[in-house]
Chains A and B, each alone.
Chain A
Amino acid sequence: MYIFDTLTNRLKRGCMTMAFPKGPAPDLPDRHGGALRLDPSKCSATCALCVEVCPSQAIVRSNGQLRLDLGRCLFCADCVTACPQGAIQQTNDHRLAARRREDLVLSPAQTEMRLAEALDEKMRRLFGRSLRLRQVSAGGCGACEADINVLGTIGWDLSRFGIQYVASPRHADGVLITGPVSKGMELALRKTWEAVPEPRIAIAVGACAISGGPFAGHAQTNDGAGSIVPIDLHIPGCPPHPLTILDGYLRLLDRLEKNR
């Protein structure tokens, strides 16, 4: 009888929601690698091995200086393997969300990314304990969408933070965009954004929504959502790990303790 079985199962297992953010964050998979950092002292000015292997042209060398754009990065780590000097390093850090697009660009002047700061006080008062988001997939492949969705499951239980995905933009405080914004979705995204009452926020999840990702430069896409709506939070990855997405939300709402 499933009724007794489900009940005993529930009793036996107890609460299945992770302790984070009160407890420690769960580990990323060991082969994930997390955020990247640059060590310019190890980078040779004549070498371009990392530039050549990057599938999404996230690494460029301009005026002899290396620039690594985590907003374009697919985190395949081909550059980490290719660099004979170890100038690009994995940090195993799940924290990757940034407020401004340029905070994701690593260079000799900024060797690590600048993590997102919280919303200003007025917005925090409005959204800090209740944030409703209307998700718009605009050319997204389904992976970012899946890992956005997974935050709603019992292991993550997003609703304990007052964050919820809603069906209507009229009920929403902001949009959550995935995909490079295909031309076919441009109008729908604009209409959805305009239907969200102000004040409102926009969050771009994944390399595609931030920069076009592997589809950057295609005439059929817009190279990300930034040219359509003003983005308040960028969460890089292909797709970002659910922990990275959650960290981004909580960082924006100032729901993390200091120094986390």
Chain B
Amino acid sequence: MNTLAPFFIFPNGSSVSWPAVPVFSITKLVRVTGELLDRGARICSWFGVQDHEETCLVAILAMDSESVLGVARSEPISGSYPSLTPRYPQAHLFEREVWEQHGLVPLGHPWIKPVRHANGTAPANAPFFRVDGGEVHEVAVGPVHAGVIEPGHFRFQCQGEEVLHLEIALGYQHRGVEEHMGGGPHRATMSQMETVSGDATIAHATAHAMVMESLAGIEAPLRAQWLRALALELERLANHTGDMGALAGDVAFLPTMSACGKIRGDFLNLTALMCGNRFGRGLIRPGGCRHDLDPQRLQTLKARLETHLADVEQATAWFWDAASVRVRFLNVGVVHTSQASDIGLVGPAARASGLVRDVRYDHPAGWHRFSQAPVAVWPSGDILARARVKSLEIQRSGRYLLEQLDGPVDGDILAPAPVPAPESLTAALVEGWRGEVCHAALTDHSGRFRRYKITDPSFHNWTGLALSLRGTAISDFPLCNKSFTLSYCGFDL
């Protein structure tokens, strides 16, 4: 037990007083974090907190096997510290981010450059990694892509058709979300949390609401937790269905593409039935939910859900039935289990590389303490596996929703607005449809935000997409990309 010692150990969605967070020298923090990662922990968040002219580094780790989180911090430092990245690649973007935000240099980090900050009217994301050689050529794509999609820059190093290396340079979407949380929550905060990553509104809004509730030492009414769990699965259904359609479209399998495009909208309309907005905006507030499901609305929701689930089952069955589809996905874009674990993948991408990793199951909070859907895992790490996991999750989320709709819990849906306690740190994890959404907050002496750190699952997973391209034909990039479906603005914040 206590495998996260000497970190302070706490469950998902609870808080700790800032003075009670263990303080280590920076070298000890790096060493102990490394030892814990060796024992199976993983990094949920790693960020700096400004302390006068210096910075405290804060590490939040998860030990999935024991359903606990651990937190520790360093003494205030400036200058540099020994990098975790050479031994633990999952730290690489976190260390780059801390360098960008606080100027702390991780000594030994192989690829220090900005993560998202703009230099004038474009991100400061050059220079790019280059492979030299007579037959090597470079392909640059973006920021504006061919489809209706968010912007990012992809730099491929290719030999013929084969991709040797892909560097993904983002930052185009940076809107200053975290920077404006200081001194908050502000009036616009909840709306900003709902748009951190617009197709994961419920996941981010739930994480923020959990942060506020935990800092205030309250819990949302059970019925509100139940409503949030419903909305989270509807969000997963809509997005996974859209992904299945997009994957089908990329291999020119039109029946599934056409059907799933429409069914995705049908699922979004179920969220709109709950709250008026297709993306769930305005549903979740700190303290609970703003809209209830009256019995008649619940029956309508259930009836429509059953129809749409049958539709998506049929549309994905065509897809899996077609050998011409399967062969395009098999052994393409492979991320091996060891790679997935090294780079700290989360969500369906991790589960498709054989990692049993799901916040709903590993770190249950809210309604998931009482009911869970089975975790969907597939071992092969290729596009087939990622599609398979999404397909399985559509079935399981559907079944979960139908069960939950049969057993509503009574009660209020909104508690009085939570008032955060001063000098407290909290972390809330939510399994959004892309994976682990992590919101961590630290309050100052008056209970306002001193630091707010958001880690979208895409922050962990973009590296997975880059690795999946190695040795793959460049023409398979769109397929690999859609099998991950990552968020640009969730990363850029």
Contact = CB atoms under 8 A, between A and B. Distances in A.
Interface stretch (A2-10, A38-46, A110-118, A250-258): A2-10
Contacts of A54: 187
Contacts of B174: 139, 182-184, 220
A144 B173 CA distance: 14
Interface in A133-179: 134-150, 152-155, 165, 167-168, 179
Contacts, number: 196
A22 interface: no
Contacts of A241: 278
B143 A188 contact: yes
Contacts of B199: 141-143, 146
B412 interface: no
A147 B284 CA distance: 21
A145 B314 contact: no
A219 interface: yes
Contact of B175 (A6, A9, A29, A220): A220
A215 B192 contact: yes
A221 B281 contact: no
A1 B492 CA distance: 44
B166 interface: no
A188 B276 contact: no
Nearest to A218: B176
A143 to B, nearest CB: 3
Nearest to B239: A146
Interface in B172-228: 172-177, 179-180, 187-188, 190-192, 194-199, 201
Given A140-B489, A141-B195, A150 B265 contact: yes
Contacts of A185: 143, 151, 172-173
A218 B493 CA distance: 12
A188 B172 contact: yes
B172 A9 contact: no
A85 B423 CA distance: 41
Contacts of B194: 214
A220 B255 contact: no
A184 B192 contact: no
A98 to B, nearest CB: 21
Given A188-B122, A188-B143, A6 B318 contact: yes
A136 B177 CA distance: 21
Interface in A196-254: 208, 213-215, 218-221, 238-239, 241-242
B6 interface: no
A137 B152 CA distance: 10
Nearest to A32: B276
Interface stretch (B74-82, B267-275, B372-380, B402-410): B267-275
B447 interface: no
B173 A155 contact: no
B282 A77 contact: yes
A155 B176 contact: no
A51 to B, nearest CB: 10
B191 A141 contact: no
A31 B146 contact: no
A138 B151 contact: yes
7 contacts: A2-B317, A29-B277, A29-B278, A32-B277, A141-B198, A142-B150, A218-B176
Interface of B: 116, 118, 120-123, 143-144, 146-151, 171-177, 179-180, 187-188, 190-192, 194-199, 201, 242, 255, 258-259, 261-262, 264-265, 268-269, 272-279, 281-282, 291, 314, 317-319, 321-322, 487-489, 492
The 10 closest A-B pairs by CB, nearest first: A141-B198, A31-B276, A143-B198, A220-B176, A153-B261, A167-B146, A186-B121, A29-B272, A214-B191, A142-B198
